[in-house]
Structure formats: C-alpha cells, structure tokens
Amino acid sequence: MQANPETNRVEISGRMQEEPLFSHTLYGEAFYTFSLAAPRLSGVVDMLPVTAGERLARALPKAGQTLYVAGQLRSYNMRQNGGTRLLLTVFARAIAVLEDEEQAINEIVLTGFICKPPIYRATPLSREIADVLLAVNRPYHKSDYLPVIVWGRNARFVSGLAVGAKIVVQGRVQSREYQKTLPDGSVARRVAYEVSAATVEPAIS
C-alpha cells in the first residue's frame, strides 16, 4: 500500500456473500450493507461488513463475485438492550470486480490517538498482546473509535504509551467470533471486528 496523507485507509478483497441490504439514509442518500469473505494466508476467512452508498451499491454484481473495496474503517454506536455496542464497517469509496481470486488483499493504515490506557497481557502460550482503542479523526469534528490488537515487541511498545499518544498502525482488518452470556443466562454467538497490527510507529506531527 502506497503512502497516503489520509488518516484512515483500507483496501480489502473477497467474495461477496449476499445481495446488498438497505441500511439507512443520511443527508438524502441511501446506504446498503453486505458481507465480504476475505481469506487469510492461513486459510482462515474473515467475514467483513461493508457499507456502500446507493451509487456504488446499484453497480454491484450478484453475490458470489470477488470484489476489491477501498475506503475507510468506520465505527458507530448502536443502542441495544438498554446499552450501546460499538460496531465497525468498511465504508466503501470505490468497488471493482476482480477476475483473479488468488490475489487476496487486506491492508489498513491508521493514524490516530490512543484514547484509553492500553491493556497488556500474555496469552496461555506466553505470546505478548496489547489491546488499544484508537481514535481516528475525520472531517466535521467526528472520530472513529477502532479496536486494535498489537503483538510481541509492538505490544510492549504501546503498553508504555500514555493516553493521547499519536501513532501510525499498519495491519489488516479481521473478524473474531465469541460467546456472550446474556442477562437471562442464555449464551449468544457474536462477531467482533478489529485491526490486527503488523507495525506500530510514533506519528510524526
């Protein structure tokens, strides 16, 4: 991915899973959502949500085609069961049909500010990991709050940073399934989306 002055840039490719569904209307424009199955080199497939404006959505092929999507990773809060839940989506600015299904793309570059103290820990296999919530600014005084998973020496690096530190993260977008126990005792299957960081560096102001 080439350097870009934007603070939030993502490029992904994968198989379109279903026809776009109407999501919402904003400033007179309708937006639609669909899922993209983005394969990793390991064989694991990330199911990533994509949001597209009506102009792009109308030009989409039928489900099953392999698409390239370029845009930004956006967050928004959804009210649910008396609380709020952070949801992520890839907001598409450009979409193209790909003929070559073997060239998997999943790259993201973010420049933002640490907005909560990083949570540093070790996995049962002694692998170092840190959870970071990154605030990435966009126009009109809005921000996206994006969860980032950092590994190894990068995890140690971010664990020593203070809230407000500005960093550049490069990595990929991934999905992760988990189970949540509800107030009535039942267990629900949920999917979380996050950025898995390959590199983390201090941002040059």
Which among 83, 105, 127 is the end of a domain? 105
Residues 101 and 113 in one domain: no
Q: What is the percentage of the chain residues whose pLDDT exceeds 90?
A: 69
- Which whole-number Å values give the CA distances from 140 to 25, 42, 120, 137, 143, in the listed order? 18, 39, 33, 9, 9
| Domain presence at residue 3 | no
Residues 79 and 29 in one domain: yes
Give the model's confidence band at 4: pLDDT under 50 very low, under 70 low, under 90 confident, else very high: very low
| Domain presence at residue 31 | yes
Which among 87, 105, 123 is the end of a domain? 105
What's the number of domains the chain is made of?
2
Residues 88 and 134 in one domain: no
Alpha helices by DSSP H, listed for the chain, are 54-58, 152-159
Residues 14 and 101 in one domain: yes
pLDDT at 83: 64
Residues 80 and 133 in one domain: no
Question: Tens digits of per-residue pLDDT, 169-189?
Answer: 999 999 988 877 777 888 888
Which among 46, 77, 105 is the end of a domain? 105
Residues 114 and 185 in one domain: yes
Residues 124 and 187 in one domain: yes
Separation CA 112–CA 75 (nearest Å): 14
Residues 160 and 92 in one domain: no
Residues 160 and 88 in one domain: no
> The domain containing residue 129 runs over which residues?
109-202
| Domain presence at residue 1 | no
Question: Tens digits of per-residue pLDDT, 136-165?
Answer: 998 888 899 999 999 999 999 999 999 999
Name beta bridge partners: 14. 67
More confident residue, 36 or 42: 36
Token readout for 186 is 């039942």
| Domain presence at residue 85 | yes
pLDDT at 102: 67
- Residues in CB range of 66: below 8 A, 6 or more apart: 13, 14, 15, 16, 97, 98, 99, 100, 101
Q: What is the percentage of the chain residues whose pLDDT exceeds 70?
A: 93
Residues 51 and 21 in one domain: yes
Residues 135 and 100 in one domain: no
